[in-house]
Structure 1
Amino acid sequence: MPTPEYVLALRKHIGHDPLVLIGVTAVILRETSDGVEVLLGRRSDNGALAPITGIVDPGEEPAVAARREAREEADVEIVVEHLAWVHQLPRRTHVNGDQVDYLDLTFRCCWVSGEPRPADGELTEVGWQSVDDLADVASDDLRERIRLAVAATGETVFARE
């Protein structure tokens, strides 16, 4: 589902005015004999190539949201390893006029199982790509999220499910 129900309900009250939302980026990695690969998907709304992203639901832990989004969008199971980056994205105005300020939490994640596929319609294709070949990724910001997640080595405490 592209827009959570609670956001649609809020929009009935505030229209297109700016809304602050917490987003997660799941940079899902796996090691192969050829090196490290990242799971990327082509977004159905704008055709951009990007890692798995989504909005944290009310009361949901961000790491749990990253796992949920991986399952919903690409039908894969992951382990969230590290919080790689916390940053505020510039205000975005969506095609329908909705304005959003996203606080993004980028997680380094490890693929566990599942053959990636476009599972819920948010992505038109999903596949593995070398972390050394990210020229097709949609933006410098998304490439930076991937770079920081690949480099993440510190431990982060996450709430357990």
Structure 2
Amino acid sequence: MPTPEYIQDLRRDIGHKELLLPAVTAVVLRRVGEDAAPLADPEVLLVRRADNGDWSATSGILEPGESPATAAVREVAEETGVSARPVRVASVADHGLVVYPNGDRCRFTDICFEMEYVSGAPRVADDESTQVGWFSTSELPEPLTRQHRQSIAAALDAGAPTAFDP
């Protein structure tokens, strides 16, 4: 999904000034194979972004009134066609100021979820990505940002308490 309409409305009023926005990252993990046997290395669902070519976990902005867990499920379905369920909050972080090519400035408070794969074959389901696929967590593709590597690591630490930015 492109920039939500409510943010476009805000931008008409405030221009390129910095916005603080709630966001989610959904790290969808597959820990068992199709034969129901545990995988030696869990697999993570990644998308290749259309805007910059980077690989990333599924992420997006919350809609007004939407809970973070609901947003994570929605973003995964919208971007990959996969159904996943939230397991836990893996991390909460501010990854710094983002300045877009058009001059818009945003800072995202990111809630990262460890997500469990439920069903569906991964596919490019919107115009935000050019590729979607499963990757062994021991062989992640490049380019993959530090932010998404940290999110994947936090999600892989099953059962650990939520990690917070210092």
* Range of TM-score over shorter length: over 0.9
Equivalent pair of 1:82/1:154 in contact (CA under 8 Å): no
Structure 1 vs Structure 2: percent identity of aligned residues? 44
Number of residue pairs matched by the alignment: 156
Q: Where does the alignment leave 5 or more consecutive residues of structure 2 unmatched?
A: 34-38
Equivalent pair of 1:137/1:143 in contact (CA under 8 Å): no
The aligned residue for residue 77 of structure 1 is 83
CA distances 1:91-141 after superposition (whole Å, capped 9, x unpaired): 110111100010000000001011010101111000000111225252112
**1:122 maps onto 2:128 in alignment:** yes
**1:139 maps onto 2:145 in alignment:** yes
- Distance, in Å, in 2 between the alignment partners of 1:28 and 1:135 is 16
CA distances 1:2-54 after superposition (whole Å, capped 9, x unpaired): 20111100000000000010110000000234431000010011111001000
The aligned residue for residue 14 of structure 1 is 14
Q: Which runs of 4+ in 1 moved over 4 A?
A: none
> Following TM superposition, by how much is the alpha carbon of 1:155 offset from its aligned partner in structure 2, in angstroms?
7.8
Question: Quick one: which of 118, 126, 131 aligns to 1:112?
Answer: 118
Q: Where does the alignment leave 5 or more consecutive residues of structure 1 unmatched?
A: 157-161
TM (normalized to structure 2)?
0.90
- Distance, in Å, in 2 between the alignment partners of 1:113 and 1:137 is 27
TM (normalized to structure 1)?
0.92
**1:98 maps onto 2:95 in alignment:** no
Provide the alpha-carbon RMSD of the alignment: 1.4
The aligned residue for residue 2 of structure 1 is 2
Which residue identity is paired with 1:53? S
After the TM superposition, which of the residue ranges 133-142 and 64-73 deviates more from structure 2? 133-142
Equivalent pair of 1:25/1:51 in contact (CA under 8 Å): yes
- Distance, in Å, in 1 between the alignment partners of 2:21 and 2:148 is 18
